[in-house]
Amino acid sequence: MTPDRFAQLAAAHGGDIGRWPQAVREAARSALAADPHGLGAVLAAESDLDRLLDLAPAQSADAALMGRLLEAAPRPRRSGGAWWAGLAAGLGLAAATVAGVAVGVASGEGDRLDRRADAILAAAYDQPEPDAAAELLDEATDL
Amino acid sequence: MASEGEDPDLALLEGVGRGEQAAVRRLLDARLPRILALARRLLADPYEAQDVAQETFLRAWKQAPSWRPGQARFDTWLHRVALNLCRDRLRRRRETIMAQPPEVADLAPDGEGALLGVQIGGRIEAALAALPERQREAIVLCHHQGLGNKEAAALLGVSVETLESLLGRGRRALRAALADLMEAVR
Instruction: State the distance between the two ends of chain A, measured CA to CA, in whole angstroms.
Output: 77
Per-residue pLDDT of chain B (186 residues), as tens digits, is: 444 557 888 889 889 989 999 999 999 999 999 999 999 999 999 999 999 999 999 999 998 888 887 778 899 999 999 999 999 999 998 887 666 655 544 444 455 554 566 688 999 999 999 999 999 999 999 999 999 999 999 999 999 999 999 999 999 999 999 999 887 767
* B167 neighbors B138 (Cβ within 8 angstroms): yes
- The reply to whether B96 and B112 lie within a common domain is no
Instruction: Give the one of A8, A49, A61 whose C-beta lies nearest to B36's C-beta.
Output: A61
Based on the structure, what is the number of domains in chain A?
2
Cα A41 from Cα B106, distance rounded (Å)? 34
Q: How far is B95 from chain A (nearest CA, A)?
A: 25
Residues B63 and B126 occupy one common structural domain: no
A16, A49, A75: best to mutate for the B interface, most B CBs within 10 A: A49
Contacts of A16 by beta carbon, 8 Å cutoff, 6+ apart: A43, A47, A50
Neighboring chain A residues of B145 at a CB cutoff of 8 Å: none
- A127 secondary structure, DSSP code: S
Domain hosting residue A129, numbered range: 78-142
Task: Report yes or no: B96 at the A interface, CB cutoff 8 Å.
Answer: no
Yes or no, beta carbons of B121 and A46 under 8 Å apart: no
Does one domain contain both B57 and B95? yes
Which of residues 50 through 89 in chain B touch A, CB cutoff 8 A? 50, 53-54, 57-58, 61, 64-65
Q: Would residue A65 count as lying in a domain?
A: no
Look at residue A63 and tell me if it is in a domain: no
Distance from the Cα of residue A71 to its chain's centroid: 8
Taking phi over 0 as left and psi of -120 to 50 as alpha, with beta for the rest, B3 belongs to beta
One domain, residues B113 and B182: yes
Residue B3 lies in a domain: no
pLDDT (average), residues A63-69? 94
Max CA pair span of chain A: 103
Min CA distance, A23 vs chain B (Å)? 10
Q: Is B45 left (phi over 0), alpha (psi -120 to 50) or beta?
A: beta
Q: Is the ipTM of this complex over 0.90?
A: no
B1 in contact with A, Cβ within 8 Å? no
User: Distance (Å, rounded) from C-alpha A128 to C-alpha B2?
Assistant: 40
Q: Is B41 left (phi over 0), alpha (psi -120 to 50) or beta?
A: alpha
Q: Are residues B82 and B52 in the same domain?
A: yes
- Residue B56: CB partners within 8 Å, gap ≥ 6? B35, B39, B78, B81, B82, B85
- Domain co-membership, A82 together with A129: yes
Q: From CA A39, how far away is CA A25, in angstroms rounded?
A: 14
A96 domain-assigned: yes
Asked if B178 has any chain A CB less than 8 Å from its own CB, the reply is yes
Domain count, chain B: 2
Mean pLDDT of all residues in A8-19:
97
Render pLDDT for A91-141 as a digit per residue (tens, 0 to 9).
554 554 444 444 433 444 344 434 444 443 444 434 333 344 444 344 443
**Which of A46, A53, A74 lies nearest to residue B16, judging by beta carbons?**
A74
* Closest among B170, B175, B82, B83 to B123, alpha carbons compared: B175
Residue A9 one-letter amino acid: L
3-state helix, strand, coil in chain A (%, to 5): 80, 0, 20
For residue B123, what pLDDT is reported? 92
Identify all chain A residues contacting B167, using CB atoms and an 8 Å cutoff: 11-13
- B4 secondary structure, DSSP code: T
CB pairs under 8 A between A and B: 128
Chain B positions in Cβ-Cβ contact with residue A72 (cut-off 8 Å): 57-58, 61
Interchain CB contact of A56 with B (< 8 Å) = yes
CB proximity list for A18: less than 8 A, separation 6 or greater: A25
Per DSSP, the residues of B5-55 read: T--TTHHHHHHHHTT-HHHHHHHHHHHHHHHHHHHHHHH--HHHHHHHHHH
Cα dihedral across residues B60, B65, B66, B70: positive or negative: positive
pLDDT at A42 over 90: yes
Q: Do B121 and A50 touch (CB under 8 A)?
A: no
The predicted pLDDT at position A78 comes to: 63
Which structural domain range is residue B155 located in? 108-186
Asked whether the beta carbons of residue A70 and residue B41 sit closer than 8 angstroms, the reply is no
